[in-house]
Amino acid sequence: MSDALMAPRKKRNEFSQAIAKSILENYQPKTVAEMQNALKDIFGPMFEAMLQGNCLSTVLYDLQRAIQVDLLCIKHNVQIYLVADS
C-alpha cells in the first residue's frame, strides 16, 4: 500500500502509550480473539460500573463499534485515518 495518500499518524499521548504497552505485555495477545478477550477483561468492569451509574447506553455502543472497527483493521492490516470537520 502506498503511503502517498495516507495522512501522517497522529502522535499519541504518553499515558495512552503506557496503557497499551502494559496491556500487550500482560496479556500477550497473538490473535484477534485473544485481543478481544483482553479488552473485554479490561473494559468489562468499567462498562458495568458506567451502566450502574445511569450512563447512556449509546456511549457504550459507539465505543463497542469503534473497538470492532479497530480489531478488523488489525486483523486485515488496514489503516484508517479519520479527519474531523472543523
State pLDDT tens for residues 13-69.
888 888 889 989 999 999 888 988 898 898 888 777 766 665 656 666 677 777 777
Q: Tell me, what's the pLDDT at 3?
A: 53
Which pTM value belongs to this model?
Answer: 0.48
Tell whether the model's pLDDT for residue 4 goes beyond 70: no
Calculate the CA 52 to chain-centre distance: 23
Using DSSP's 3-state secondary structure scheme, residue 29 falls into: coil
Secondary element (H or E) of residue 84: none
- What sign results for the dihedral spanned by CA atoms 5, 77, 39, 21? negative
To which H or E segment does residue 73 belong? Answer: helix 57-75
Q: What does the pLDDT look like over 63-78, one tens digit per residue? A: 777 777 777 777 767 6
pLDDT of residue 5: 60
Domain residue limits, the chain: 31-86
